[in-house]
Each structure stands twice: as structure tokens, then as C-alpha cells.
Amino acid sequence: MTTAFAPGLDATHDPLSRCWVDSANAADTDFPIQNLPWGQFRADTTSPWRIGVAIGDAVLDVQATGLLDHADMARVLSAPAPARRALRRALWQGLQWGAPEQTAWPSALWPQQAVQLGLPCEVGDFTDFYTGIHHATAVGAMFRPQQPLLPNYKWVPIGYHGRASSVLPSGQGFHRPWGQTLPAGAAAPVFGPSQRLDYELELAGWVGTGNTLGQPIDLAQAHEHLAGITLLNDWSARDIQAWEYQPLGPFLSKSFASTVSPWLVTPDALAPFRCAPAARVPGDPVPLAYLLSAQDQALGSWDIQLEVWLQTAAMQAKGHPGQRLSTSSLRDAYWTLAQLLTHHTVGGCNLRTGDVLGTGTLSGSRPGQAGSLLELTHGGQQPLVLDNGETRRFLEDGDTVTLRGHCERSGARRIGFGPCSATVLSARSGPVP
């Protein structure tokens, strides 16, 4: 029996493939047998982290299957792409309905609800880019109505070095940050809890195989260095940011917390959803040669649909699951992840396993597609009226923000990312230095 698959696809993408874990066959699951994202889990806070893949509403303990003899996620992700691909394929084979493993592997399953999910991998360095051109244009217009986008934007992927130590797993709350802010019209700053706390809807590329110092990653090889993609919420204190950001960029306004989803969705799982990045508009410059390839222009993006949900404390108290605030897509990015990987290394910088590259806030071009409250409320000037009558200019204590993402197209099985969620806790009392 032979089946023809489109270029880049194989039996692991077959939409008809079924799993002996029943919940993986549900139409709306994020984790069918075609996904198999990597994550770290543990039974309780005193147990060591283990390597798992999400399958339906369960986690498969990969070490318990015998396919791995260690629990070192960085070691798994640092392997060359063909080895990572082979491991995914072995998992797919064992999880298929009727596979011999159907009798042995069930003992390696844990209910996702019963375990703690951690970061997908220990975070190396964290770089955040600014590829969401609609976000960059909308925010730029607030500060520079005459020139929303600076002249470099369409030539060079803009980014800054973020903070890895405060990248948090989904589900971990964080305290509203304290900092310096400059009240309107004031001559001197004040010190206190941020009053303009915001979220940012982003995706994050995680580095698998690194590169040697001084040896840049060629654009054509970039995806081979990508271990996978998660959702990323780059929490931002807008009042602290406005006062501190010039001339070197954001600092404490971003470094207090960033939340990532627990499951690393691999480029292999995403293969059916490759697509062209949004076309550059007429008059845009052609990227410099090191950032330009026909392959990247044709298939350098993935059709990943994104959503932001807000559940206020009042909603939670009434058992209300929250309200969707906006939707957008990775196709709203001006630069591809391959271009970001290549640009990051072009001067010689070495990327290492576990490094995280944020896309920047992904906002669409239309109202209702803004990836931050800064845009949805026009800098806090037009409060958002929620379905239950509450209003928001920026986040309040007790608010839970959840990002979601999925891929869907005819002829392929829908896959998802799982939620990226965290609750804003009240500012700690009196951290005055």
C-alpha cells in the first residue's frame, strides 16, 4: 500500500491516522496523533521533570515508552533535525490504532489534568522581535503620527535582548510590577505599582540545534535549527515602558514576567500549514540578499490562528469562562521565523538550544485584531466595555489572560497549541528599595 503525500509531508500528517488514545481522535482536540508536541511534566512539585508528548487529554511519558533513556529535554532538542523527526515518527507509529504498543504504552500515559506542566525546555536566552507590522504601525502612530514606522523597519528585523529568568510556564501567576513612571505633565517620576499593565499576543520560536560562534545560520537551513513554536505573552507595563525605553529600548517594563505555553509544536507537525508570509506592499524594499530566498517567500510562514481571551475576577467568580478580545495570525508578521534566526546570527552570534525568539505582538490590520490593550483601547483613552458590563483600559488584579492558537485547513488534521494562561496578582506591598 502506498500513499502519495505532498512535498514535506509523510504518513505522520495523514488526516485519517487514528490513535488508540480515544481523546486524541476528538475533532476539536489540540493534540491529535498528527501533532505530538514536546513538553515537560511532573506528578507533583517534589518529583523531577519528565519528558512528555501531548496526546489528546493525556501526556505520554516518553522515557517510559523506551524511546528515550534520559529526561534531558535540551538533549532531545539539540539533536539534528532528522533525529528529532525520527523520534516523532517512532512516537506516531506506536500511538497508531492497532500498533503493538497499544498494549504496553497505556501505562506510560498520565492525564494532563493530573500533572504539572512546566516550561517546554530550560530557557537559554530570550530575544523579542517586533515583526507585527500592524502593531508597530498602530503603536508608532501614538508616538509619531507623522512617521509611525521608522525608516529601518522594512530593512532590518527589529529586536531586543530580553530576560530569560522570568520566562514562566503557563498557569503561574505573577505580581503587578513596581517601577518608575512619569505622570502626565510632571517634571519628575514617581515610584509605584504599574497602572498600565498590558499583555502582548506573540508566538515564540525555540532553538533546537544551535550554531557555532561566528558561523551564521543560512536562511535555507534556518528551519532545521528550529525545535518548535509556543505561544508567548510578553506582559508589558506601558507606563514604565514609556519613561524608560529611550534610547536603548524596553528594560524593566518587560522583564518582570513573560508566559509561554507548555507544548512545543514542532516544524514537522506544522508542515501541512506552511504558507507564504503576507505579501510586501508595492514600494516596500526587497530584503537584503541574506534575508531573501524564493523558498522563504513562498512557504516561510505557517497559517497559525491566534486568539486572546480575558477572564476577569468577577467572571471567574460566576464560573464564566472569559471573553475573547481579539484574533490574529502569524501571517501578520512582516518577517518570517527563518529570517529572524538568520538575522540573529548574521553578525556571528551563536544561538543555543532553548533560546527563545519572540515574534513581537501579532496584531491584524482590522479592529478586533489588536494583540494588546494598548491598541484595543487606543492607549487607554477608549475603555473596552466587556460583555458583563465591566470596562478595561489596562489589566486589573485578578484578570486572567489566555492566549490560544491553532492550525486548520482542508485536507489536514487540525492541531493546536494548548492554552497560554496567567493571572495578574496584586503588587507586592512595599518593595521600596
Which stretch, 182-190, 198-206, 304-312, 410-418, contacts Mn ion (CB under 5 A)?
198-206
Task: Return the number of the residue (200 or 375) whose C-beta is nearest Mn ion.
Answer: 200
Which stretch, 34-42, 85-93, 230-238, 281-289, contacts Mn ion (CB under 5 A)?
230-238
Q: What's the closest the beta carbon of residue 359 comes to Mn ion, in angstroms?
A: 8
Residue 128 binding Mn ion, by CB under 5 A: yes
Task: Return the number of the residue (138 or 219) whose C-beta is nearest Mn ion.
Answer: 138
Q: What's the closest the beta carbon of residue 234 comes to Mn ion, in angstroms?
A: 3
Question: What DSSP letter does each residue of 260-287 carry, written as one string?
Answer: E-S-BB-HHHHGGGEEPPPPPPTTPPPP
Residue 332 binding Mn ion, by CB under 5 A: no
CA distance 86 to 366: 41
205-224: contacts with Mn ion (CB under 5 A): none
Number of residues that bind Mn ion (CB under 5 A): 3
Task: Return the number of the residue (234 or 355) whose C-beta is nearest Mn ion.
Answer: 234
Question: Which amino acid is it at 158?
Answer: I
Task: Return the number of the residue (104 or 150) whose C-beta is nearest Mn ion.
Answer: 150
Q: What's the closest the beta carbon of residue 257 comes to Mn ion, in angstroms?
A: 12
Cell of 86: 525520527
Task: Return the number of the residue (30 or 355) whose C-beta is nearest Mn ion.
Answer: 355
**Longest Cα pair distance anywhere in the chain, in angstroms?**
77
**What length does the chain have?**
433
Task: Return the number of the residue (244 or 268) whose C-beta is nearest Mn ion.
Answer: 244
Which stretch, 94-102, 123-131, 172-180, 379-387, contacts Mn ion (CB under 5 A)?
123-131
- β-pair type (356-358, 384-385): unpaired
Q: What's the closest the beta carbon of residue 347 comes to Mn ion, in angstroms?
A: 22
Name the residue among 264, 242, 271, 241 with its Cα closest to residue 254: 241
Q: What's the closest the beta carbon of residue 186 comes to Mn ion, in angstroms?
A: 27
Cell of 252: 524593566
Residue 244 binding Mn ion, by CB under 5 A: no
Task: Return the number of the residue (200 or 239) whose C-beta is nearest Mn ion.
Answer: 200
CA distance 299 to 160: 26
**Residue appearing with cell numbers 502626565:** 184
Which stretch, 97-105, 226-234, 334-342, 369-377, contacts Mn ion (CB under 5 A)?
226-234
For 2-7, which contacts have Cβ atoms below 8 Å and span 24 or more sequence positions?
Answer: 6/272
CA distance 408 to 390: 33
CA distance 263 to 186: 45
Name the residue among 82, 75, 359, 338 with its Cα closest to residue 226: 338
Q: Which position's Cβ is nearest Mn ion? A: 234
Residue 200 binding Mn ion, by CB under 5 A: yes
Contact 371, 132 (CB under 8 A): yes
380-409: contacts with Mn ion (CB under 5 A): none
Which stretch, 36-44, 140-148, 231-239, 346-354, contacts Mn ion (CB under 5 A)?
231-239
CA distance 319 to 337: 38
Q: What's the closest the beta carbon of residue 366 comes to Mn ion, in angstroms?
A: 21
Residue 198 binding Mn ion, by CB under 5 A: no
Q: What's the closest the beta carbon of residue 373 comes to Mn ion, in angstroms?
A: 13
Task: Return the number of the residue (128 or 303) whose C-beta is nearest Mn ion.
Answer: 128
CA distance 257 to 253: 9
Residues 6+ apart with CB under 8 A from 101: 65, 93, 94, 95
Residue 234 binding Mn ion, by CB under 5 A: yes
Catalytic (active site) residue 70: no
Which stretch, 83-91, 215-223, 229-237, 243-251, contacts Mn ion (CB under 5 A)?
229-237
CA distance 48 to 27: 33
CA distance 34 to 276: 22
Task: Return the number of the residue (26 or 150) whose C-beta is nearest Mn ion.
Answer: 150
**Residue appearing with cell numbers 480575558:** 310
x/- binding map, residues 31-70, to Mn ion, per CB under 5 A? ----------------------------------------
CA distance 111 to 231: 22
Contact 120, 230 (CB under 8 A): yes
346-365: contacts with Mn ion (CB under 5 A): none
Annotated catalytic residue, options 13, 134, 135, 223: 135
Among left, alpha and beta (phi > 0; psi -120 to 50; other), residue 367 is beta
Q: What's the closest the beta carbon of residue 202 comes to Mn ion, in angstroms?
A: 6
Q: What's the closest the beta carbon of residue 40 comes to Mn ion, in angstroms?
A: 24
Binding stretches for Mn ion (CB under 5 A): 128, 200, 234
- Residues involved in catalysis: 135
